[in-house]
Amino acid sequence: MKKVISTIAAALLISGAASTALAQSRSGLRINEVMVSNQSSIVDDYGQKHAWIELFNSNFSPLEISSVFLTNDSTQPRLYPVPLGDVNTEIPKRQHVVFFADGEPNKGTFHTSFTLVPGQDNWIGIYDADGVTLIDEVTIPAELGPDQTWARTSDGFGEWAVRDGIGTGYITPSSANVIKDTNKKIENFAELDENGFGMTVMAMCIVFTALLVLCLSFYSIGKIGSAVSRMNKMRAHGVDKEEKATVKHDSGEEIAAIIMALHEHLNTHDAESTILTINKVKRAYSPWSSKIYGLREVPGSHRAK
């Protein structure tokens, strides 16, 4: 009964962990940038300009989105299911895809069945394959002008802001909202820690802390272990607390001395009987070990006999 319960518990745990892992990967899908009125931005495969919605995979692993729903109506979460069977619906890690909100889903995978209306608030939501779990949502303000986008300040996260293509407010369909031409971390180290002293101090402190914590833990565990084994030993010897001072650990030297004494006393190894006994070893026949099945019969050898 115990076994059955533990098996069921393990199965539940595993399935729970698996569903959590799946949920984690799905929850990494983000609405990243939206253009409602497209006057001079990107065109679709048919050369036409439509409102577009950029999705971003914020995971560090590819994300298959073919079973999620896109919608602009919270009462109809299953408005546009991303079709199955298109290899392009797998978004590589930290990459983007653009959907055209043109209301013409028969034009292809990346054309939604709904449109966005300029001059009014537009709500967009992404629902998971169950049509119930909301993965991400955004409301695009009515004030958004032509050729302007409503975009996150940092890919996948951060605040939303209007972008108009001027200065640093660049519009970036299908690419990162923040264009990185250098690694900021390394730049900072190069600029602020020219001689590496800061890194050395920080890193050595961390290395020492990690090993010191480990050291202290095992110092404590060792102490507890010794105390427990001493208690067990006292219990085995029937010694009470008052007498505990007399119960000590056997040192390596003591054990070695006892073994030497026993060896001297018994002297079992050096006096051999010098009688050699050969017993026939019987082995049960098994076709798995039979060499006959592995050999090819050679006609010539029969003739020789």
Instruction: Rank residues 186 and 284 by Cβ distance to another protein and give the closer one.
Output: 186
Interface residues toward another protein, by CB under 8 A: 183, 185-186, 189-190, 193-197, 199-200, 202-204, 206-219, 221-222, 225-226, 229, 249, 252
Instruction: Rank residues 84 and 190 by Cβ distance to another protein and give the closer one.
Output: 190
Instruction: Rank residues 192 and 295 by Cβ distance to another protein and give the closer one.
Output: 192
CB of 121 closer than 8 Å to CB of 36: no
What minimum distance in Å lies between the beta carbon of 186 and another protein? 5
Tokens describing residue 257 = 């001395």
What minimum distance in Å lies between the beta carbon of 155 and another protein? 18
CB of 49 closer than 8 Å to CB of 38: yes
Instruction: Rank residues 20 and 220 by Cβ distance to another protein and give the closer one.
Output: 220
What minimum distance in Å lies between the beta carbon of 211 and another protein? 4
What minimum distance in Å lies between the beta carbon of 256 and another protein? 11
Instruction: Rank residues 185 and 303 by Cβ distance to another protein and give the closer one.
Output: 185
What minimum distance in Å lies between the beta carbon of 305 and another protein? 44
What is the DSSP code (8-state) at residue 82?
Answer: P
Q: Which of helix, strand or coil describes residue 250?
A: coil
H or E element that contains 149: strand 149-154
Return the half-sphere exposure (C-beta side, CA atoms, 13 A cut-off) of residue 59: 17
- The DSSP result for 252-290, as a single string, is HHHHHHHHHHHHHHH-TTT---------PPP----TTT-
